[in-house]
């Protein structure tokens, strides 16, 4: 019997729920700040924006989606609770791109950074190599394999950061303020790039109205750690 939380029956068709959060609370240690009673559900393939003032809890929420900040069973990805048992599935399928690309790039070469995730999944060398090449192609950065990540421009770093998760072929992409440090051309290129990921479920926290408007079919508004409203 299929769980109602996983499938929604819409117009006679079953719709897969990619993300389901119900009653999620998190407070930073020794702090009153965090996220409070968060609940929402996102169907596979949806593109959803999270907006709200600085400190409203967007990043804290996003970091729960693949168990980075804490593994919390109130968060489900394709009906799997974010817990220790499922964490491999979760990390493979929820590709989180940090606001600051430097947090994502720590190897001596672009190749090694993009190969890191696939290697951790235990894929053999050939499969890893194919994954790296495919990911570089997806972000239009072929030929950058041997470059030192720290010497790239901010726009290039952002693309490589995206490639480091694309290489695992995640079903969900989570991006925290992806355009915040880009120049106008880099920002436009990034928006156009994100539009190419049609099959993926995409979650974006951003203040960039144009990005949200062009890419997202729904917007969740946050304030003071809570969801204030959800626009459809
Ligand atoms: N590492 C931390 N320790 C303590 N408090 C934090 C930490 N990170 C964020 N906060 C607090 O949690 C709240 C939510 O922050 P955050 O999720 O970063 O919001 P946003 O991404 O919307 O700007 C804020 O009040 C912020 O000050
Ligand atoms: Mg933030």
Tokens of residue 185, six digits: 């051309």
Separation CA 45–CA 201 (nearest Å): 4
Three-state secondary-structure class, residue 157: helix
Tokens of residue 175, six digits: 């991006």
Residue 222 CA: nearest ligand 1 atom is: 22
pLDDT in tens, 135-166: 999 999 999 999 999 999 999 999 999 999 99
| Architecture of the domain spanning 7-231 | 3-Layer(aba) Sandwich (3.40)
Q: Is 28 in the pocket of ligand 1 (CB under 6 A)?
A: yes
Q: Please tell me the predicted confidence (pLDDT) of residue 6.
A: 64
Residue 61 CA: nearest ligand 1 atom is: 17
Separation CA 156–CA 121 (nearest Å): 25
Residue 205 CA: nearest ligand 1 atom is: 21
Q: Please tell me the predicted confidence (pLDDT) of residue 1.
A: 41
Q: Please tell me the predicted confidence (pLDDT) of residue 114.
A: 98
Separation CA 24–CA 222 (nearest Å): 14
Q: Please tell me the predicted confidence (pLDDT) of residue 15.
A: 81
Task: Give mean pLDDT in consecutive 10-residue pieces for the chain, a chain of 232 residues.
Answer: 58 84 97 96 97 98 97 97 97 97 96 97 97 98 98 96 98 97 95 97 97 97 97 84
Q: Give the other-Cβ count within 10 Å of 218's Cβ.
A: 16
Measured in Å, residue 143 CA sits from the centre of ligand 2 at 32
Q: Please tell me the predicted confidence (pLDDT) of residue 5.
A: 56
Tokens of residue 41, six digits: 């559900």
Q: Which residues surround ligand 2, an ion (CB under 5 A)?
A: 58-59
Percentage with pLDDT > 90 across the chain: 92
Measured in Å, residue 162 CA sits from the centre of ligand 1 at 23
HSE (side-chain half, CA atoms, 13 Å) at 196: 12
Q: Please tell me the predicted confidence (pLDDT) of residue 14.
A: 76
Q: Is 60 in the pocket of ligand 1 (CB under 6 A)?
A: yes
Tokens of residue 27, six digits: 């407070």
Q: Is 52 in the pocket of ligand 1 (CB under 6 A)?
A: yes
């Amino acid at each position: 019997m299929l769980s109602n939380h996983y499938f929604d029956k819409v117009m006679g068709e079953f719709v897969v729920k990619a993300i389901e959060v119900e009653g999620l609370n998190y407070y930073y240690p020794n702090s009153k700040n965090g996220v409070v009673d968060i609940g929402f559900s996102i169907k596979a393939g949806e593109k959803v924006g999270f907006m709200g003032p600085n400190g409203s809890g967007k990043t804290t929420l996003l970091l729960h989606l693949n168990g980075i900040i804490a593994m919390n069973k109130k968060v489900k990805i394709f009906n799997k609770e974010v817990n220790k048992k499922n964490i491999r599935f979760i990390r493979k399928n929820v590709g989180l791109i940090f606001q600051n690309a430097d947090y994502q790039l720590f190897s001596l070469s672009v190749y090694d950074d993009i190969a890191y995730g696939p290697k951790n999944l235990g894929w053999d060398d050939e499969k890893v190599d194919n994954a790296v090449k495919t990911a570089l192609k997806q972000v239009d950065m072929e030929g950058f394999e041997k470059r030192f990540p720290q010497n790239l421009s901010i726009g290039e770093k952002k693309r490589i950061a995206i490639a480091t998760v694309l290489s695992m072929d995640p079903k969900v992409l989570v991006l925290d303020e992806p355009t915040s440090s880009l120049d106008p051309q880099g920002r436009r290129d990034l928006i156009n790039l994100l539009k190419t990921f049609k099959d993926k479920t995409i979650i974006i926290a951003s203040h960039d109205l144009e990005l949200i408007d062009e890419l997202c079919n729904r917007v969740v508004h946050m304030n003071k750690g809570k969801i204030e409203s959800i626009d459809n």
